[in-house]
Each structure stands twice: as structure tokens, then as C-alpha cells.
Amino acid sequence: MKLLLDSTRCQGYGLCREHAPQLIELDEWGYASVIAADVPPSCEDAARACADSCPNSALRLEK
């Protein structure tokens, strides 16, 4: 599974990092970047919660 970010949709809310701090980092303005696109099996639930929490649908999962 891969966690993908559309940076043009990110508005810097930072909600995604609350669910998956091991997969997402935020810059000083709150904009997200994906630390590791390949999601380990142990982090799949966190990645789903991370993508679901984004109010702008900037994150998505691919199998």
C-alpha cells in the first residue's frame, strides 16, 4: 500500500499527522509531506485514518 499526497490540495491543517506521525511530517506552516510512501503492514490502519482525516482529500491510498 502507498500513501500519496497531492500537495496542491493540502491546506496545512495538520490533522493527518495526528493519526500517522510515523508516515507524515509537517513543515513550519503545517503543510504535510509523506515520509515514506510505502506503508508497512503494521501502519495500514493509521494510514487509512490519516487519509480519511484530511478535510481537503489531499492524501490517498493506493494498493
CATH of the domain at 29: 3.30.70.20
Regarding pTM above 0.85, the answer is yes
Comparing CA positions, the residue from 37, 49, 35 lying closest to residue 4 is 37
- Residue 62 included in any domain: no
Query: What is the residue range of 49's domain?
Result: 2-56
The domain tally of the chain equals: 1
Tens digits of per-residue pLDDT, 9-56? 999 999 999 999 999 999 999 999 999 889 999 999 999 999 999 999
Are 15 and 24 within 8 A, CB to CB?
no
Residue 32 has what pLDDT? 96
- Residue 61 included in any domain: no
